[in-house]
Amino acid sequence: MLTDGTRISAFLNLGSDKTGMQIRRRSRFYAAWSQANGEMPRQGQQMPLETFTEPGLLYTVRVADIVKDEKAADKPDAMIYSCVTEILKVERP
């Protein structure tokens, strides 16, 4: 949530395997989770989604309007939305 109360979202791909998340070391999810956790996961450590919502975490992010569709065509104005494109910094209490 932004300081003015606006909610924003980040979209992180977890793969298409229906049996479980596929988290690769080079993925945006891995990088974002490691920042929120304060360190990379240890061998065999689970990566729970709750790590992102721990109380007191302060995120500095880059937000951009999504103006193109999946075919790189311009979206109609009514379909444009804003989302987090990059997590710049995570501050822990």
pLDDT in tens, the chain (93 residues): 677 887 788 888 877 777 777 788 888 999 999 999 999 999 989 999 999 999 999 999 999 999 999 999 999 999 999 889 999 999 987
Structural domains in the chain (count): 1
Q: Using CA of residue 81, residue 61, residue 25, residue 48, what is the dihedral sign?
A: negative
How many Å apart are CA 53 and CA 89, to the nearest integer? 15
Q: Which domain holds residue 90?
A: 1-93
